[in-house]
Structure 1
C-alpha cells in the first residue's frame, strides 16, 4: 500500500486523469449552485499543508467540495485519509477512490504522503462525526483525538482548518444520543456503520421522507496554523496545544458560517433569491 501512494498503477492514473478532467469541465455547473467559499487565497501555494475538517451528516459534501476547490485553486490532488474500510474495498470501487485521492488513514500512510509533500485532508472525528443525533449539528465529536497534530508537527506541516456548513441540515436526526433507540441499536450500528458503541440515527429529509432537504453549502478555509514546536515546550504539551488551537479555530469558522447563513435568502437554494445570495469576501 505504501509503495503505491505516489507511484500509482497505470489504471489508477488513467482514472485520475478522467476524474480531474471532468472536475475542470464542470466548473460552470458548480458555480451555478453558488457554493459559498472563501479563504482559498490563504492556502500555501506549494500545496504542502494538512487540511483538518468537520464531517457532516450528509457524508458527501465536505468530502467532495474541499478537494474540489483546493484542486481548482492550486491544481493539486488532495489525499484524503479515509477509514480502514477502504482497505476492504476491491476492484473498480477501490481504484476510483484511490484515483480521487483517498488512502487508508493510518499514521504510516500520512507520514509517507507528507514526506512527498502531498496535500493531505483528515477528519479527526472519523465516521463518528457523521453519526449526528438530535441537537448535535456542527459539533466536533473528536473524543480527544490529536494524532493529526502529532503527524503535522513531525513533518513541519502547517494546518489549515476548513469548515463546512449545510451538510448537517440536509437531514435532521429525530432521536437523541443515549436515548432508548440509540442504546438499543448500538450492536446493530457497529455491524452496519463500523463505529463502536454508537447506535443508528433516525433521520428525515423533506417532511417525513428521506428526500434530501435543499441546502446551500458554505465552505471556509482558515488561516494556516504553524506547527513548529517552540523551545522549552515538551512534545506532549505542543501536540495538545496544536490540537486545541485547531479545534478552536474550526469551531469559530463553523460559528461564523452559521451567522452568514442565517441572513442568506438563498440558503434553501430558492432560485428567486439567486441574485441576493450571500457572497464571500474576495
Structure 2
C-alpha cells in the first residue's frame, strides 16, 4: 500500500488542477443517473440525465479552488502517515467490519485495499461495486442501508435474527429488484396466478390464499428457483404481503457467501426476506404469523437432472406439518409449470461427473459446502449442489395454481401424532402433484402462451400482469 501511495503522489504532482478534478470525481454519468426513475420513457430519461449532468458542471469547475493540488499532496502525506499507524494495529481488530469498495476508483486502489483488509481482519466482509467510481455513495443504485441489510449488519443484538431484525424493502428496493434485476424475466414469462377457494372453485388471482397468517406455502421448486421472483412479486402487488422464503444455507454461510465479494443475488435475497432453512427459522417465522414459502424438495428439485422436471423429491419426514399444527397455521399447497418452455437441461450432474478434470472440483466444492440433510434417506438426501448446463428456449409462460387451503387450527394432536401428520403430509404432496397436472393440461388452452401473442396484447391492450390466460 505504501508503494501505491508513493506512485500516486508522483502522479498528483504531474497533474494540473483541472485534469485532477475529473480524475478524482469518479463516474459523473452514474452520479447524474441518481433519481432518474426506471419507468420513464427513453427520451424522458435522456432529458433528465442531461439536466443532471449540466447541474454538475459548476461543481467540476469549482473543484480546483476547493481542493488545489498542493492541498491534495499534503493530504496524501497525512494518509501515508495514518495508514502506517493503522496497519501496525490491524491485528488487534476483532470486531465485525464491512468494507465497501469501488472497482473503477481512479483515485485510490480501493479494490486491492479491500481484499487486503479481508485477509488481515478475521471478521471482515467485503463488497466491491464493479461499475462505480470513487464517489461510491453518490452514484446510482448504491444505497448504504440496502447494503447493510443485505450483509446482515442491521441487527439489535450480537447475532442477526431474521425475524426481529428484518426491515421490509423500501419502494426503491422493490423497484430495483423487480424492475431492473428480474424485470426481463417477468416480461418474458408473464406469469399468471390461479388459486382455489374454500369451496373448491378455482379463480384467477390470489383470492384463495388467506390474507392472515401464519400461512405455509408448500410447493414444487422449479429449476434454479426461476419461479420465486414472480411469486414474491405477485404477492406484493396483489395482496401487499411479504413472503418469507426458506433458502438453502449455502447462500448464507457456505462457499457462495465466503467467496463472494460483490453485492450479489444472495444479498438481495436477504433484503427481500429470505431466511436459511432450518427448524428454528420455520418456528420463528410461523410464530410471527408470517407467510412462509417452503420447498420440501429443496436443492434436489431446484437442481434436478435431465428429464426430471415436475417430479417431486420430498423427504419422508412430515415435520413441516407438525410445525404448522403447533401454530395453527394454514398450509397452501401449490404447483407451478413453465420450466420446460424456458430452458432445456443439456448437461446435468451425472454428465459433469464423467469429466475427469471437472469431477474433482465438483466433489471438493460439495464436500466444503453446507449439508442440510445428512440424516435424510432416498433421493432428497442428495447433496450435489451443482448448477446444470442449460440452453434457453423461446420463452413460454409460467403458470401458478394454489390449491385449497388446509387449516390446521385446532389440530394440536398432529404435533405428537406422527401417523396423523403423515396423512396430512401425503395429502399436501398429492395436492401439489394435482396442481401441476392441472396446469400442464390447461395451459394448452391459453391463447397467450406464445410470447409473440403476449407481446402483441401487451403493446395494444394491457400492462404486463394483466395479460389473460385460460379459463379455469
TM value normalised by structure 2? 0.49
125, 128, 132: which is aligned to 2:304?
Answer: 132
1:20 aligns with 2:174: yes
Q: Is the 8 A contact 2:345 2:390 kept in 1?
A: yes
Higher helix share: 2
Tell me how far 1:16 sits from its aligned partner: 4.6
Q: What CA distance in whole angstroms lies between the structure 2 residues aligned with 1:25 and 1:183?
A: 37
1:70: which partner in 2? 235
1:81: which partner in 2? 246
Q: What CA distance in whole angstroms lies between the structure 1 residues aligned with 2:236 and 2:414?
A: 38
1:152 aligns with 2:324: yes
1:55 aligns with 2:221: yes
Q: What CA distance in whole angstroms lies between the structure 2 residues aligned with 1:152 and 1:103?
A: 17
Gaps of 5+ in 2: 1-154, 196-205, 372-381, 458-466
Tell me how far 1:109 sits from its aligned partner: 1.0
Q: Is the 8 A contact 1:171 1:203 kept in 2?
A: no
- Identify if the C-alpha distance between structure 1 residues 278 and 147 changes in structure 2 by more than 3 Å, giving closer, same or farther: same
Tell me how far 1:60 sits from its aligned partner: 3.7
Q: What's the CA shift string for 1:171-216, capped at 9, x where partnerless?
A: 2234688x6x3764776545456574549675442xxxxx454121
1:102: which partner in 2? 274
Tell me how far 1:42 sits from its aligned partner: 0.8
Q: What CA distance in whole angstroms lies between the structure 1 residues aligned with 2:210 and 2:364?
A: 40
Q: What's the CA shift string for 1:147-194, capped at 9, x where partnerless?
A: 3222212211111112111124422234688x6x37647765454565
2:105: which partner in 1? none
- Identify if the C-alpha distance between structure 1 residues 99 and 279 changes in structure 2 by more than 3 Å, giving closer, same or farther: same
Secondary structure of 2:207 counterpart: helix
1:7: which partner in 2? 164
1:44 aligns with 2:216: no
Q: What CA distance in whole angstroms lies between the structure 2 residues aligned with 1:96 and 1:82?
A: 12
Q: Is the 8 A contact 1:161 1:249 kept in 2?
A: yes
- Greater shift in the superposed pair: 146-155 or 117-126: 146-155
Q: Which has the higher contact order (CA 8 A, sep 6+)?
A: 1
Q: Is the 8 A contact 1:47 1:74 kept in 2?
A: no
Q: What CA distance in whole angstroms lies between the structure 1 residues aligned with 2:433 and 2:267?
A: 34
Q: What CA distance in whole angstroms lies between the structure 2 residues aligned with 1:272 and 1:73?
A: 21
TM value normalised by structure 1? 0.79
- Identify if the C-alpha distance between structure 1 residues 130 and 169 changes in structure 2 by more than 3 Å, giving closer, same or farther: farther
Q: What CA distance in whole angstroms lies between the structure 2 residues aligned with 1:109 and 1:230?
A: 20
Q: What CA distance in whole angstroms lies between the structure 1 residues aligned with 2:177 and 2:388?
A: 33
Structure with larger Rg: 2
Q: What CA distance in whole angstroms lies between the structure 2 residues aligned with 1:31 and 1:202?
A: 24
1:216 aligns with 2:407: no
1:260: which partner in 2? 442
